Structure 1
Amino acid sequence: MDGDTKHLIYRIALPEECSRIREALETFFYPEALLNVSYTDQQTAAPAEEEVQHTLSLVQQGMAAIAIDTNDHNQQIVGVSIARCVKPDTCDDLLQEAASLLGHGKRVEQLKLQAHLERLANVCGRFRVRRSYHVFVLAVEPTRRRNAIGQKLLEFQLARAKTLGYQVVSADFTGEQVARIGARLGMRCVSALPLDQYWNSAGERLFVAPEGMPGDRTVCTYARYVSGVGDK
């Protein structure tokens, strides 16, 4: 629903807010996150606990931005964006982590898929940098969408990346609407992977978007130099 956004504030999430951020992620991120709901070998679409803990660890590192409704007496979190540091050897690190986990569960297969996405995008190699500030969570509470909250969160993350000394910001998008946000901020698509073209090392296709799921079934990685932050 469209509405006044003057009462919204954007800031870095505090470590003590992890429980609130987890609640927000479980409410309006994971139920729609393509790499979460498309995993076929699962009884429910609940995220792997290891995935949740890894994501929350990045809040502790100051890489999460939130949008808060100051008109709400509970100061409701209505938008979340979380980033991680990507380096040239991140692909190898992800595969090593997957190998260290026994079995072939959801977290293992997600790590393998993330490694494949990192290899395809090769952001550090393309931009000739030693690290990238990679946004992998950009979520807005459904009733607050179409109010540019997602764009403002991404702009906030661009500024945060500059503050932390990053030269490049990258992001994974899984739908046209959110990809347009990246394009408006001067990001360009460097790789695209339709899920129906991904098989793991055993030749298994374990990520299939549910029937009737809105949006695209392609994971696109966008990137840009930080430079002046807001310049297009």
Structure 2
Amino acid sequence: MSAAVDMDEIKISVATVDDSERLLKFLHVHYYREEPLTVGCEPPEPDAADENFLLSNLPHGTCVMAMHEGRIIGAGVAGPKMPDEADHLFEEAERLAGSKWGCILGLLAIVERDANVFQRYNVNKALHVHAIGVDSSLRGRRIGERIVTALAARGRELGYPVFTSDCTSVYSARMMKRLGFELLNRMPYTDYVDAAGKQLIKPPAPHEFVETYVLRL
């Protein structure tokens, strides 16, 4: 299938609420199955709250899809975040304690607090990418880079001063480096433990860290 796709024929467009069903179906196959936070804790499937959160970004006009002949071959989900993001994440993690999504939010809250993007960059809002998925048969053809570039352009168009990403995967981190993002913070997965010292999220190798990257827009 990959040989049949002409890279020049790929079109990237802004995703809308009407795309919710097919976007989520695509992400289940080409994002969630390999996403380190998702596969790093049980059960292997994402919580409904996780799915609903991703789809909640669509009304902002900050998500994109890479299309080829009417088929999604890549997608990027991004949305706004404000200076109170860390507090919000800690509150949501506490509210959803005991659930898979609550566990994931707990880690993301720590990452957000420690990255401290708003103070370090002296900004009052940011565009944050939450998920990037590329058709597994088309990996290695820089479709992910095109998606991130399109998201950054959308962020500039909408007046966001910075674009951020918490890279849970070593592969997404490498991509952000290639695209000129600045590494702002690194958190080892082994640091995220419960009161008894048990590691809460254990992604498979080679994923060892969550790395926060920032690009000035």
TM-score (normalised: structure 1): 0.87
Are positions 1:189 and 2:180 aligned together?
no
The answer on whether the counterparts of 1:14 and 1:60 sit within 8 Å (CA) in structure 2 is yes
1:203 deviation in Å? 4.3
SS in 2 for 1:126: helix
Counterpart of 1:220?
A: 211
Please list, as runs of the form range in 1=range in 2, the aligned pairs for 1:24-43 lying within 5 A after superposition: 24-39=26-41, 42=42
Are positions 1:93 and 2:88 aligned together?
yes
Between the aligned residues of both structures, percent identity stands at 28
Counterpart of 1:131?
A: 125
Please list, as runs of the form range in 1=range in 2, the aligned pairs for 1:14-33 lying within 5 A after superposition: 14-33=16-35
Match for 1:65: what amino acid?
V
SS in 1 for 2:103: helix
1:200 deviation in Å? 4.1
CA RMSD of aligned residues (A): 1.7
TM-score (normalised: structure 2): 0.92
Please list, as runs of the form range in 1=range in 2, the aligned pairs for 1:163-178 lying within 5 A after superposition: 163-178=157-172
Match for 2:179: what amino acid?
L
The answer on whether the counterparts of 1:79 and 1:140 sit within 8 Å (CA) in structure 2 is yes
Counterpart of 1:230?
A: none
Match for 1:16: what amino acid?
D
1:98 deviation in Å? 2.4
For these two proteins, the number of residue pairs brought into alignment is 215
The answer on whether the counterparts of 2:76 and 2:131 sit within 8 Å (CA) in structure 1 is yes
User: Which range moved further: 88-97 or 147-156?
Assistant: 88-97
Distance 2:188 2:196 in 1: 18
Which residue among 72, 77, 81 is the counterpart of 2:72? 77
Distance 2:200 2:144 in 1: 29
The answer on whether the counterparts of 1:134 and 1:170 sit within 8 Å (CA) in structure 2 is yes
Which residue among 3, 6, 29 is the counterpart of 1:4? 6
**Structure with the higher fraction of residues in helix conformation:** 2
Distance 1:38 1:176 in 2: 14
Counterpart of 1:229?
A: none
